[in-house]
Homo-oligomer: A and B are copies of this chain.
Amino acid sequence: MKKDLPAKKLKVHFEPDNVDIIVDEGDNLLQAAIGAGTHIYAACGGAGTCGTCKVVIEKGEVETERTAKVSDEEFRQGVRQACQSRVISDLAVSIPLESRLESGVLSREGREAVGALATGWRFNPPLGKYFVELLPPTIEDNISDLSRLLRGLKQRYKLSNMTVDFDIVRKLPQILRSSDWKATVTTLVTAVKPRAAEIRRPRVINVEAGETKANHYSLAFDIGTTTVCGQLLDLNQGKVIAQGIDYNGQISYGADVITRIDYCRRKGGLDKLQQTVVATINGVIDQLLDQSQIDREHIGHLGVAGNTTMIQLLLGLDPKYIRLTPYTPAANLIPPVKAGSLGIKVGEHVYLSAYPLVASYVGGDIISGVVGSGVYQRKEKTLYMDIGTNGEIVIGNSDWMVTAACSAGPAFEGGGIKHGMVAASGAIEEFDINPSNLEPVIGTIGGEKPRGICGSGLINIVAGLLEAGVIARNGKFNTDLPTKRVRPGRDGNEYVLAWAPQTQIGKDIVITEVDIDNLIRAKAAMYAGCQTLAKSVGITCSDFDQVIIAGAFGSHIDIEKSIVIGLFPDIPKERFTFIGNGSLLGVRLASFSTDIIDDARRVAQMMTNFELSATPAFMKNYIAALFLPHTNIREFPSVKEKLLKLRKGKLKRGVGV
């Protein structure tokens, strides 16, 4: 019966985006929000377990499965988990601040990348444009149009042994005759072999009428789990002429790669996620074209890097074996694929080239960052860290390189934290504490009233609380302090960062012992990863000549505070460098230089991957790191000294520690 009757159509209105969507009766409300183009955060991917996708039903009715994530009072106020709700009438829905993702804050600048860039490469983009003026055919010289074109390329540019895309042949005759036998050929180097650059065979991928060398553009993209960043490159000038960013639309299907891999077990799940990230990429391309006023058809190539799961989802490669032991990706060197065949809105001739990757949890984004930052070119022993839910570590120099992935959990991105949120406006990021009255001094992104805590803020808060003696080295609160801000809560003791009236959300914003514990586990995973990897090559964490911190998150964290909590090794501050989006940096350089592509393949091949879960020492190191900054405080001499000073100061002021 259900199949025979057409479903009733219902209208759902979303505020504050002021957008509508028509859905079928019974449709999922989270899906409706995605369909309407609103960004709702759904960390668990719609399983109902995270509570991040709460919305308020202002008008109309939904059918909902209530979970413990919605309190009685919230329920009375109309709060529902979007992922657990089905539309059964026309609706007006408002998305509260906590559940919203705003694209605006994505573009805030992090620290500038300095002192850590690959050098010595030639400007020789894999994408080439060549103008030829051919002699028109005569009865004495009536070789085929394609042969004439290739002869012209050989005579003028010494290009030979080219492979040719079949599609060229379809349009070539018309183009040559429409343009008085003057044409511009686009070539792409796809079959690069390290150490045998002489056998590169450029592929002819496009031909245009007349002289079009001025229109020579390429796209560089980093496909992140949370955000997608793109740049439009002018290959004549060798520079970035536009950049754009947006949340990866897949975020509504889960915050981390594991949730998304699981989502692919549903029927049509892989297709859905594939289409979703492609829609995000298309949106960013639109931004780039708007900014630059460049014609879409003038884009000749698309370079991408991302973690292995993101790349497999983009390419429609089932990611399930990434999650299952022994964690094998589908391919390390991805064969070139036409971008249009994936749904990406660029010319038919455009290939997508993905950065080579190392393993399921050491993706092309890491290779890209390592290459872009030039780690492989220098003798200095370098630690390269990309910090996030899926943290990655590389240790090495020009002679050797080892890598490992650390599953740090979502704390660095605000996940699993009571008032955690992504780094959007209103997130508490700066934190200081008045040692005399233990009152906080907080700063938020965008300077607005606070509405939550982002990952970098969390580090600063925990470091500050430790330095002020509000928490002990085991992360537990000191309850003897003369302040109302420390109080018992549902998740153990907590510290009130902002009282309800001073917030945007009308509730006290607190940090709990459970939150602190989550952060400790996250930083312990990263640090133990470094230790284990360093040990494997016979060095210790104090031996690094350089530490490179990559990732948007990394750009906003405080080095000293990170050392205080034991996330970073305790070495001099001047050895640290931030490179921001290292992945995007590497893709950009590879778009400018075929040398860099060669290097990337070489780096991917020289890199040894450690599966930390298969290394017994890792668990030992991890447990030892579950203290602030570490069980063995001698690993952190500068922190030891600070805490000692604090202790002395407090003793002076008569405050217990």
A contacts, CB < 8 Å to B: 137-148, 161, 163-166, 168-170, 172-174, 177, 191, 193, 199, 201, 315-318, 320-321, 325-337, 357, 359-360, 609, 611, 613-614
Contact = CB atoms under 8 A, between A and B. Distances in A.
Contacts of A143: 328, 332, 359
Contact of A147 (B170, B199, B331): B331
Number of copies of this chain that the complex holds: 2
A142 B328 contact: yes
Contacts of A357: 144
Contact of A331 (B169, B316, B337): B169
Given A145-B330, A147-B332, A173-B321, 13 more contacts: A137-B328, A139-B325, A139-B611, A143-B328, A144-B329, A144-B357, A146-B330, A147-B333, A166-B315, A169-B331, A169-B334, A170-B316, A174-B318
Contacts of A611: 139-140, 142
B335 A165 contact: yes
A359 B326 contact: no
Contact of A360 (B142, B166, B315, B337): B142
Chain A at the B interface: mostly helix, strand, loop or mixed?
A: loop
Contact of A146 (B138, B148, B331): B331
6 contacts: A137-B326, A139-B614, A142-B360, A144-B357, A166-B315, A166-B334
A603 to B, nearest CB: 15
Contacts of A329: 144-145
Given A142-B360, A199-B199, A611-B142, A169 B335 contact: yes
Which interface residue of A174, A329, A334, A336 has the most chain B CB atoms within 10 A?
A329
Given A163-B191, A193-B161, A201-B191, A330 B173 contact: yes
Contacts of A332: 143-144, 146-147
Contacts of A333: 146-147
B145 A328 contact: yes
Nearest to A136: B326
Contacts of A147: 331-333
A141 B148 CA distance: 50
Contacts of A318: 173-174
Contact of A335 (B164, B337, B613): B164
A10 to B, nearest CB: 34
A327 B191 contact: no
A618 B634 CA distance: 99
Contacts of A331: 144-147, 164, 169, 172
Contact of A169 (B161, B193, B330, B609): B330
Contacts of A139: 325-327, 611, 613-614
A325 B177 CA distance: 13
A170 B328 contact: no
Nearest to A191: B163
A611 B165 CA distance: 30
A214 B337 CA distance: 31
A325 B136 CA distance: 12
B317 A169 contact: yes
Nearest to A321: B173
Which interface residue of A144, A145, A164, A614 has the most chain B CB atoms within 10 A?
A144
B166 A337 contact: yes
Nearest to A199: B199
Nearest to A150: B333
Contacts of A320: 173
B193 A144 contact: no
